Amino acid sequence: MTTQLTLVVKRDCPTCTLLEPVYAALAASGIALDVWTQDDPAFPESVPGAFDEGLERSFRLGVEIVPTLIRREDGEETGRTWGWDRAEWERLTGLDSLGADLPPFRPGCGAKNVEPGMPEALAARFGSARLKSRRVPLAPLEDEVEAAYDRGWSDGLPVVPPTEARVLAMLDGTTRDPGEVLGLVPPNLQPCTVEKVAVNAVMAGCKPEYLPLVLAVVEAALDDAFCMHGVLATTYYIGPIVIANGPVRRAIGMNAKGNVLGQGNRANATVGRALQLVVRNVGGGKPQGVDRAALGNPGKYTFCFPEDEEGSAWPPLSESRGAGAGASAVTLFAGYGVMGVVDQDSRTPEALVETFADVFRGLENRNRRNIDAVIVVSPEHDRVFRAGGWSRGDFEAALRTALDEPGHATPKLREGGLLIVRAGGGAGMFSAILPGWAATGPVGSIPVTKEVGT
């Protein structure tokens, strides 16, 4: 068995300079010792050291405090200590009376490789071998944002340039392996790795802490039930709509209140956009290419919002669809919007539901049947249902009854195709319908709910 000790120090740290006699004792012990100095090649003076000028060695060793002492047996690390703690150093080296004239304990100092900005820079320089994607070197005077446009990576809005440092930082947002394949992205059926999602999440403007949510969104989109290829290739208006539930909403600061379906919140905006960029870039799905939408809708840039669970008397949408209680989850719906349901008069659920039914009757055209839809119930309409003691199920049942028409065997709303969520600002007696695709249910797209991982 070969024992090897590795020591990382810097002159600028008083604890490191204090330990010169200890370094001399280690060198004299006969144990193999290599010493790396972070700042001054002439330090330490008692033993020869190598200069870790680019800090690559310190980065690879994961040093955070100097001095750090690492023990290896046959190349495998078996222990490490940092700062000066005589008992620890003696245990790790198997030597007695180390630094007998020194105090028994001194804290170490921050290592140079963890100074502000350094971990990111070092990760890009030395950690980028983790990344398997092809690299795209730009010309010296080429603008990074324009370069992304020129290569067809943008949805029309500027993207954040996916540098190695940004992609590596994004991957720190998940515990999952960058090489894990989430599925095949239509239309070109390209394998979608965690890494490819991270690259596109960077471009969309996501923070690393959003990545677990984005991964769940992509997994939901690639679920066969969602039929992402058809959702992309249809001539209809639709695109994926993302509805978030659970603790992740507040953890990453999503907006479920005023202007919930509109602009202005980074998490709402970028999570939905990340999915669109994955389909565009990994899958190759582009408008007027395989995306045959006649009109499309503005939600195809991004359409992602959380339910206002705290403001709702109803259980979260995700739980009504089988996700665990209290779990973070996403639901994907193939739809578009926003169709207004305006009722500033009704003071009973019975009257209010008639207004919803009235909008549904003419939705798309009067003969359309078996449609899917999301209903976003605003707080001031929620108040009416709450005062009447209506559950989500009561609302849906009453709506279906109101929509029954003689002479139509097929219902206006497909059984299982209605999602009811509660969100929005406190003032305004305005709810919304987000209609679904013409191809609903098993012949087209089925809404998919996935729990969010880590």
> According to CB under 8 A, which one of 6, 93, 234, 255 is a site residue for other proteins?
234
> According to CB under 8 A, which one of 102, 114, 233, 363 is a site residue for other proteins?
233
Cα–Cα distance, 70 to 86 (Å, whole number): 15
* Least distance to other proteins, CB of residue 144, Å: 6
Q: Does 156 bind other proteins (CB under 8 A)?
A: no
Where would I find the beta strands (DSSP E) of 214-338?
Answer: 239-245, 304-306, 329-335
* Least distance to other proteins, CB of residue 363, Å: 20
When the beta carbons of 246 and 283 are compared against other proteins, the nearer one is: 283
Q: Does 38 bind other proteins (CB under 8 A)?
A: no
> According to CB under 8 A, which one of 242, 282, 323, 329 is a site residue for other proteins?
282
Q: Which range touches other proteins (CB under 8 A), out of 143-151, 206-214, 363-371, 416-424?
A: 143-151
Phi, psi of 208 (to 5 degrees): -55, -35
Q: Does 144 bind other proteins (CB under 8 A)?
A: yes
Task: Count residues binding other proteins (CB under 8 A).
Answer: 48
When the beta carbons of 183 and 428 are compared against other proteins, the nearer one is: 183
Phi, psi of 297 (to 5 degrees): -160, 155
Residue 3 CA, chain-centre distance (Å), reads 43
Using CB under 8 A as the binding rule, the residues of this chain from 383 to 442 that contact other proteins are 437, 439
Q: Does 292 bind other proteins (CB under 8 A)?
A: yes
Task: Give whole-number Cα distances, 74 to 32, 47, 125, 322, in Å.
Answer: 12, 23, 28, 51
* Least distance to other proteins, CB of residue 155, Å: 12
Dihedral class, residue 183 (left if φ above 0, else alpha if ψ from -120 to 50, else beta): left
If you search the block for the tokens 């008639």, which residue do you land on?
354
Strand, helix or coil for residue 173? coil
At position 70, the amino acid (one-letter code) is: I
> According to CB under 8 A, which one of 57, 176, 196, 300 is a site residue for other proteins?
196
Q: Does 273 bind other proteins (CB under 8 A)?
A: no
Q: Which range touches other proteins (CB under 8 A), out of 49-57, 186-194, 350-358, 427-435?
A: 186-194
- 189 in Cβ contact with 143 (< 8 Å): no
- DSSP 8-state assignment for residue 287: B
Using CB under 8 A as the binding rule, the residues of this chain from 211 to 230 that contact other proteins are 227, 229-230
* Least distance to other proteins, CB of residue 445, Å: 8
Question: Which pairs with CB-CB distance under 8 Å and at least 24 residues apart come from 258-265?
Answer: 258/424, 258/425, 258/426, 259/425, 260/305, 260/306, 260/308, 260/376, 260/423, 260/424, 260/425, 261/305, 261/337, 261/338, 261/376, 261/423, 261/424, 261/432
Phi, psi of 341 (to 5 degrees): -120, 100
* Least distance to other proteins, CB of residue 228, Å: 11
When the beta carbons of 287 and 388 are compared against other proteins, the nearer one is: 287
Residue 282 CA, chain-centre distance (Å), reads 17
Residues 6+ positions from 202 with CB-CB distance below 8 Å: 160, 162, 166, 167, 170
Phi, psi of 184 (to 5 degrees): -105, 130
Using CB under 8 A as the binding rule, the residues of this chain from 96 to 135 that contact other proteins are 131, 133-135
Using CB under 8 A as the binding rule, the residues of this chain from 160 to 179 that contact other proteins are 161-164, 167
Cα–Cα distance, 47 to 60 (Å, whole number): 23
When the beta carbons of 65 and 290 are compared against other proteins, the nearer one is: 290
> According to CB under 8 A, which one of 30, 104, 116, 140 is a site residue for other proteins?
140
When the beta carbons of 277 and 423 are compared against other proteins, the nearer one is: 277
Binding site for other proteins (CB under 8 A): 131, 133-140, 142, 144, 147-148, 153, 161-164, 167, 185, 187-188, 190-191, 196, 199-200, 203, 227, 229-230, 233-234, 277, 281-284, 286, 288-290, 292, 437, 439, 443-445
